[in-house]
Structure 1
Amino acid sequence: MRAIGCLAAAVLLAASGCSGDSGESQVQDQKVEINIFWWGGEKRAQITEKALALYTSRHPKVTFKTHWQGNQGYYDNLATQAAGPDGPDLFQIDDNYLTEYADRKVTLDLTPYVTSGALEIGKLPDSLAKYGQVGGRQVGVASAENTPAMVYNRTLVRSLNLPEPTVGMTYDQLFEWATQITEATNGRVAGTMDPSADYKALWLWLRGQGKELYSGKQIGFTAADLTTWFEMWQTARDTGAAPAPAVIKEANGGDVTKQLVATGRAATSFMWSNQLPELQGNTKDELALVSYPGDPKGQWARASMYWSAFRGTRHPDVVVDVMNFLVNDPEAGKILGTERGLSPNTDVRKVVGDSLTDPTARATIDFENAITPRFGAAPAPPPKGHAKIRSMLTAAAESVQLGRRSPKQAAEQFLNQANGTLAT
C-alpha cells in the first residue's frame, strides 16, 4: 500500500511531523474498531464479513463492527446515524443519495487520499472513477461496476429461428424483431418489455441524442422529448411488440423475480448487467445479455454502489486503507466476487473472472469487458431528489400505459413536478 502523503495526513489526520510512514504501518500502530454499514442479503453479508476478516488477519489491531439490513429503510437508518457524532465510519451508498450526502457534508473528502495514492483509483475505468466525484471532490469510490443491459431469452429466440439482438441495434429494429416474437408465439410471449417507466432506459435514449437526464439541479430534457419517449412505447404496445399494460405493471417495480424475461411473459427485460445470475435462477431457459438499443457510447461504467467514509470518523486513515483494500486487493476481490457487480479495478476483475466457475457470472464479466471500451463519458452523479424523480417517472409512464393520460399530458405534468422537486 502506498504512503499517505504529508499533505493528506495534515489535512485529514491533523498529524504533525509526517515522515512518510506508510498507510500500512499507521494501521498496524493503531488498535481501532471500524463501524461499517451496508444493505444487502445474507450472501452479501457473508462475503463482506469474510473479506473484512482477511483484512484483520493482515492488520490484527483493526477489527470491525458490522451492521447490515435489507434495502427497505436503509437510508432512513443511515440518515439517523449520520445526523449524530457517531455515524458509521464506512458505509455503502448509491447514486440516489451520493450527491445529497456530499452536499450535506456527511461524506469525507477523499481527494487528498487519491492525490497521495493512499486510495488508488488508477485501475478503475476513468468514467467510473469520476462518477464518484461531486463538486470536484472525490466523495465515494465504486465498490463495483455495472451497466444497463437488455437481458433476452436466448433459448426462445433460437427455438423460433430468429436472430439474436445485437449491440447497436436501433429501437425501430428492436420493435420489428419483437413483433416477430409476439406473432410467432401467438401472443403468448411479447417480444420486449416496455421500459418507459425505467429512468435508466430513458437516460440512455436521451444520451443517444446528446441530452442528459439532468442538467445541474434541473431536468435535462424537455416535455417534447419525454412525449416522444412515451409515444414510442405506446406504439410498441399497440403493435404487439410490447405486452399489455397489466403485464408491464408487474415488472415496473424492479423486483427481479417479477421481470418478464424470467416469468416468460416477454423475451427481453431492461436490467443491470450484474442481475443476470439472479434472473437466470428464476428460469430454466438460457438468458443472455446485450446492450440497450442505440449507440453504446451512451452508456458508461457506472458504480452499482459506492463505499463512502463518514466525515466525522475518528480513524480516517484506517477507513481509507480498508476502502482501498476492498477495491484493489485481488484476494478481497475473489472473496467479494460479482455479488455487488464487477470489481471496479480492471486487474482484479480479470483475477476474479479467471477464478469463476459459474457460466452466468462469467457471461456478465465477458459482456462488460467487451462493451466497456465503447462507453462514453460518465455524466455527473444525479442531484438530490433523484429517488423521488424515479418514482415520478414511473407514475407518469404508468398513467400513459393505463390510458389515464396522453403522452403529452403525462410528460408536461412530470416536468413541472420534477423541476419543482429538484428546486427545493
Structure 2
Amino acid sequence: MTAPRMLRGLVAAVIAMPLALLGACGGDDGSGSDGKTELTFFWWGGEARAKLTEQALALYKQKHPDVTFKTTWQANQGYFDKLATLTAGDGAPDIFQIDDNYLAEYATRNVTEDLTRYKDSGKLDVSRFPESLWKYGVVGDKLAGMAMGENTQGLVFNKTKLAAARQEPPRTGMSWEELISWAQRAGAATKVAGTMDPSADYKALWVWLRQNGKEFYTGNQLGFAKEDVQKWFELWKGARDAKATPPADVIHEGNATDITKQLVVTGKALTSWVWANQMPDIQKNTKDELGVVAYPGDPSAQWARASMYLSVYRGSKHKDVAVDVLNFLANDPEAGKVLGTDRGLPSNLDIRKQVAASVTDPAMKASIALEDELVKKFGASPSVPPKGHATVKTELVKAAEAAQFGTATPAQAAEQFVTAAQAAISR
C-alpha cells in the first residue's frame, strides 16, 4: 500500500472510531497538556459559604499548585434541578454537594463514585469520624458520599419566656407524654402554646418510630405500617385537645420549613422541632434567649446525621484527585479552621474539638454542647432515604394537616399518608 493510501485509511478509521473509545484513549488522570488538573465543584449555599469554600480550596491549591478549580454555587432553591440537568448531560461536576434527600437517588442511578476503596485504602480517612456518621453515606453496599458535617435532631425552646414564668425547661430523656404534660403546664403559665405540634415533621416521626422498634425505611421499603402512623397522629391529637399545642392554623405556619417562620421565633410556641445546627440561625431571628435539648424519649434513637455530603461524579476523569480534595476538606486542620461549622459540626472529631474551642456564638455553643452530649448515646445510623423521600416528606405534611384541621381522623390520615408514601418510593 502506498503512503497516501495508508494515511487515508488511518484517517477513515479514526473518524469511524466511537467517541467513547476516543475519550478512553485520553486516560483518566485529568491532566491537560500543561500538566495541570482542573476540577469542577458545584454546591448550594449563600455568599458566606461560597467565600469559605473558596478559601479552603485556595489552601489546597497552595499545597497542590497543579490543581485548579472551576467552582459554581447557587441558592438551595433550584439546586437539584440544576444538578439533574448537569448529570444528565456532559457538564457533570467532578465534585458536588448533596444531602440525604437525594443521595440514594443519585447512587442508584450510578451518578456517584463508590468511595469504599478509597476509604479502605486510607486515601479517604474516616478514622476520626463517628462510625454512624460516615456509614450514613452508604447506599446498598457503596459509600456514595462523604459526610461534610454532623447534625442531629434538636428541640429548641424559649429560655427567656420560661424563666420569666418560673417554669423548668424541657430536658433530654423526657418521654413524649412527659413533654406534652410539660407543654400544658408551661403554656398555661406563659400564655404561649407549650409546643409546636410535630406530627407533620418527618424527623420527629422517624425518632419516635426508632424508639418503638421500627424504622422510617428498611432499604427501599417503608419500615412502618399504617397502625404506627395512626398512633403517632393520635398522640398529637391528644396534645391538641389538651391545649398543649397551638390551634391548627398556627401549626400550619410552623409546618413551613423557613427558619424565620418557626413558632419559637414568631413567639407562638415555646418549642420548635428542628435540626440542631439550625439553632444559630433561629437565634438570630428572635431577641429571646433559646436553648436546645434532644427530642423526647430514648436519645439513642437519634443518630449522627450527615448535614450534607460531598460526592464524586462516577464519570469524572480525575477521581483520585477529587477524592484527595474531599479528604483535605474533611481532615486538614487549616481547612477545618476555615470551614468552621458552616456545613455542620466537622465530621473529624479532632477538627471539631479545634473548631469548638474557637466558637464564641452562644447559640452555636449550645448546638455543639448538645452534639457532644449525644455523640456517646447515638444509635446506629438508619438506611439513607430511598428515591422519592422528598415526596414522602410532602405527603406527611398533607396527611398530618388533614388530621390537625379535623378533615380526617388519625386513622384516615394515616392511611392517606402510607398509601401516598408507598407510591412515592415505588415510582
Between the two proteins, the alignment pairs up a number of residues equal to 400
- CA deviations 1:77-97 (Å, max 9, x no partner) are 001100123300000000111
2:66 matched to which residue of 1? Answer: 61
1:10 matched to which residue of 2? Answer: none
Instruction: State the distance in 1 between where 2:220 and 2:121 align.
Output: 32
Does 2:302 correspond to 1:299? yes
- CA deviations 1:51-99 (Å, max 9, x no partner) are 1111112212211111111111111100110012330000000011101
- 2:406 paired residue among 403, 408, 411: 403
- CA deviations 1:350-388 (Å, max 9, x no partner) are 010112222222221121011110010001101111011
Does 2:164 correspond to 1:159? yes
- 1:340 paired residue among 336, 343, 348: 343
- 1:215 paired residue among 204, 218, 222: 218
- 1:177 paired residue among 172, 177, 182: 182
- 1:255 paired residue among 253, 258, 262: 258
Contact 2:27 2:317 in 1 (8 A): no
How far did residue 185 of structure 1 move? 2.5
Contact 1:86 1:313 in 2 (8 A): no
Contact 2:216 2:224 in 1 (8 A): yes
1:286 matched to which residue of 2? Answer: 289
Report 1:22-171 matches (<5 A). 30-171=35-176
Instruction: State the distance in 2 between where 1:331 and 1:232 align.
Output: 48
CA RMSD of aligned residues (A): 1.7
Residue 420 of structure 2 aligns to a residue whose secondary structure is helix
Return the letter of the residue paired with 1:66: T
Report 1:384-395 matches (<5 A). 384-395=387-398
Residue 155 of structure 1 aligns to a residue whose secondary structure is helix
Does 2:278 correspond to 1:275? yes
Residue 308 of structure 2 aligns to a residue whose secondary structure is strand
2:362 matched to which residue of 1? Answer: 359
Residue 384 of structure 1 aligns to a residue whose secondary structure is coil
Q: Give the structure-1-normalised TM-score.
A: 0.92
Contact 1:85 1:312 in 2 (8 A): no
How far did residue 129 of structure 1 move? 1.0
Instruction: State the distance in 2 between where 1:324 and 1:14 align.
Output: 23
Does 2:251 correspond to 1:266? no
Return the letter of the residue paired with 2:240: R
Instruction: State the distance in 2 between where 1:225 and 1:360 align.
Output: 35
What is the aligned-residue identity percentage? 55
2:204 matched to which residue of 1? Answer: 201
Instruction: State the distance in 1 between where 2:162 and 2:106 align.
Output: 44
How far did residue 216 of structure 1 move? 2.0
Residue 194 of structure 1 aligns to a residue whose secondary structure is coil
Larger CA deviation: 412-421 vs 348-357: 412-421
Larger CA deviation: 198-207 vs 326-335: 326-335
How far did residue 234 of structure 1 move? 1.1
Return the letter of the residue paired with 1:31: K
Structure 1: unaligned runs, 5 residues or longer: 1-12, 17-25
2:419 matched to which residue of 1? Answer: 416
Larger-gyration structure (1/2)? 2
How far did residue 15 of structure 1 move? 8.2
Change (3 A) 1:334 1:216: same
Deviating above 4 A after TM superposition, structure 1's stretches of 4 or more consecutive aligned residues are: 13-16
1:19 matched to which residue of 2? Answer: none
1:3 matched to which residue of 2? Answer: none
Return the letter of the residue paired with 1:102: A
- 2:248 paired residue among 245, 248, 267: 245
Contact 2:114 2:143 in 1 (8 A): yes
Instruction: State the distance in 2 between where 1:360 and 1:104 align.
Output: 39
Contact 2:337 2:355 in 1 (8 A): yes
Instruction: State the distance in 2 between where 1:83 and 1:128 align.
Output: 29
Instruction: State the distance in 2 between where 1:247 and 1:67 align.
Output: 38
- 2:333 paired residue among 304, 325, 330: 330
Instruction: State the distance in 2 between where 1:421 and 1:15 align.
Output: 38
Instruction: State the distance in 2 between where 1:339 and 1:265 align.
Output: 28
Contact 2:152 2:303 in 1 (8 A): yes
Return the letter of the residue paired with 1:391: T
Instruction: State the distance in 1 between where 2:187 and 2:121 align.
Output: 57
Contact 2:183 2:244 in 1 (8 A): yes
Residue 63 of structure 1 aligns to a residue whose secondary structure is strand
Instruction: State the distance in 2 between where 1:227 and 1:169 align.
Output: 22
Residue 64 of structure 1 aligns to a residue whose secondary structure is strand
Residue 399 of structure 1 aligns to a residue whose secondary structure is helix
